[in-house]
Amino acid sequence: MVDIDAPPSTADVVLVGAGDIAGGGPGKQITADLIKAIPDAAVFTIGDNAYNDGSSSDFQSNFEPSWGAFKSRIKFPVPGNHDYTTANASGYFGYFGAAAGDPSKGYYSADYGAWHVIVVNSNCSAVGGCNTGSQQELWLRADLAAHSNRCTIALWHHPLWNVGVHGAANEMWPITKTLYEGGADVILTGHDHDYQRWTPMTHNGVPDAAHGLRAFVVGTGGIGFYNFTSEDPHVEVRNNQTFGVLKLTLHAESYDWEFIAQPNATFHDSGTGECH
């Protein structure tokens, strides 16, 4: 478990962030400015932090001048596939240090407010797999059993549910199953360069309003946009034209979400959910 400066468990807390962030275009500064305007929030990233290769130089030239302005507030970084283009994601782990967890794993957890926050490494081949019985899945199962928080959120890069060009990351089904069976509430992913909000579902993609996992794809951190390539009736909201970050206000037994869009954008999404 990562040791972070956490507020009292009875206090509301705010998380804000996105994935697919820092390349050569202006998007990374647009989203960095949105986060700087929410100074009380802890920050998460959902992978592909520094393009193109996640090297130390990519982090210094692309991430540091933009999102690096609030590096001390990034409590929950997540590695993406571009971060692993550099061997062992050494640029990523070197940049984020202890906040990113054990470099041989890249997965970790911490309590934040009343919530339990779990970071999964969806670069499965780099950490011995994501399948049932893998080291990571066994760790996740034990971690869920060891924490009695009513509210749990999980973050990783490659989405199981996705209508974008990359399609479904089916290798994440066992992890999603373990989260569903463990009573988790929310999943945040990136990878596709768009925003998607899915109806709460079981690990098998069956709607479950009472106990389902509500998944978001938030690949809107700055690199650009992809086309949607499929339809799914369980996608409640989607957009691929707007840079922005997802703000989550985490209460003791519920949460509010709001997509904070770039200036002058017409797209907006917000709502609330109850923990299981």
Residue that the structure tokens 């973050």 belong to: 155
Residue that the structure tokens 């463990």 belong to: 182
Q: How many domains does the chain have?
A: 1
8: in domain: no
Residue 107 · residue 101 · CB < 8 Å: yes
Give the contacts of 80 (CB within 8 A, at least 6 positions apart).
19, 20, 46, 47, 48, 49, 54, 123, 157, 190, 191
Chain centroid to CA 85: how far? 19
In this structure, which amino acid lies at residue 47? G
6: in domain: no
According to DSSP, the residues that pair with 249 across neighbouring strands are: 14, 256
b/e string for 84-106 if b means 16 or more Cβ within 10 A? bbbeebebbbebbeebbbeeebb
Residue 181 belongs to a domain with what CATH number? 3.60.21.10
248: in domain: yes
In terms of DSSP H, where are the helices of the chain? Answer: 27-36, 56-58, 90-96, 135-146, 173-181
Please give the model's pTM, rounded to 2 decimal places.
0.96
39: in domain: yes
111: in domain: yes
3: in domain: no
- Dig out the tokens for 146 from the structure: 């060891």
5: in domain: no
Question: Among 177, 185, 178, which residue's Cα sits nearest to residue 210?
Answer: 185
Reading the chain (276 residues) residue by residue, the pLDDT tens digits are 444 555 666 789 999 999 999 999 999 999 999 999 999 999 999 999 999 999 999 999 999 999 999 999 999 999 999 999 999 999 999 999 999 999 999 999 999 999 999 999 999 999 999 999 999 999 999 999 999 999 999 999 999 999 999 999 999 999 999 999 999 999 999 999 999 999 999 999 999 999 999 999 999 999 999 999 999 999 999 999 999 999 999 999 999 999 999 999 999 999 999 999
In this structure, which amino acid lies at residue 54? G
7: in domain: no
pLDDT tens by residue, 188-224 = 999 999 999 999 999 999 999 999 999 999 999 999 9
**Residue 266 belongs to domain spanning:** 14-274
